[in-house]
Amino acid sequence: MTTASAPPASGGLDFTIPADLRDVLDRVRAFVDEEVLPAEAEVVDPEDLAAAWPIIERLRDGARERGIYTPHLPERFGGFGIGVLGMSLINEICGVSMLASLAINAMAPDEGNMHTLLMAGTEEQLETWLRPLAEGRIRSCFAMTEPDVASSDPTNLQTTAVRDGDEWVLNGTKWCISGGDGAGIAIVVAKTGTDDAAGHRNYSLILVPTDTPGWRVARDPEFMGAHYVGGHPVIEIDNVRVPASNLLGNEGEGFVIAQKRLAGGRLAHAMRWIGASQRVLDLAAERLISRTAFGKELAEQQALQFMIADSAMDLYASRLMVLHTAWKVEHGMPHRQEVAMTKTFVSEAFGRIADRAVQIHGAAGIAKDLPVARIYEDARSARIYDGASEVHRMVIARTCLQLARKGESTRSGAGDLT
pLDDT tens digits, 100-115: 999 999 999 999 999 9
Same domain, 345 and 311: yes
Euclidean distance between CA atoms 123 and 83, whole angstroms: 22
10 found inside a domain: no
Q: Specify the CATH number for the domain of residue 175.
A: 2.40.110.10
Q: In terms of domains, do 105 and 161 share one? A: no
Q: What is the pLDDT of residue 370?
A: 85
Mean predicted confidence (pLDDT) in 2-28: 74
Domain of 305 in residue numbering reads as 255-413
Asked whether residue 11 carries a pLDDT value surpassing 80, the answer given is: no
What letter does residue 291 receive in the DSSP assignment?
A: -
Say how far apart CA 378 and CA 359 lie, in whole Å. 16
Same domain, 272 and 368: yes
Whether residues 148 and 36 fall in one domain: no
Q: Please list the residues that pair with 161 across neighbouring strands.
A: 170
At a CB cut-off of 8 Å and minimum separation 6, what does 309 contact? none
CATH code of 99's domain: 1.10.540.10
Q: Please, how many CA atoms are within 13 Å of residue 26, restricted to the half-sphere of its CB?
A: 7
Phi-psi region of 295 (alpha: psi -120 to 50; beta: other; left: phi over 0): left
How would residue 406 be classed by pLDDT, with cut points 50, 70 and 90?
very high
At 306-359, the pLDDT tens digits run 999 999 999 999 999 999 999 999 999 999 999 999 999 999 999 999 999 999
Same domain, 40 and 116: yes
The candidate with the shortest Cα–Cα distance to 140, out of 210, 69, 49, 244, is: 210
Give the span between the Cα atoms of 38 and 103, in whole angstroms: 13
Find the radius of gyration of the CA atoms of the chain. 22
Cα angle for residues 151, 345, 409 (degrees, 5° grid): 95
Given pLDDT bands bounded at 50, 70 and 90, which one contains residue 223?
confident
- Does residue 418 lie within any of the structural domains? no
Q: Which residue has the higher pLDDT, 223 or 343?
A: 343
Global pTM reads 0.91
Annotate 349-367 with DSSP letters as a single string: HHHHHHHHHHHHHGGGGS-
Q: Are residues 299 and 280 in the same domain?
A: yes
Regarding whether 223 and 188 lie in a shared domain, the answer is yes
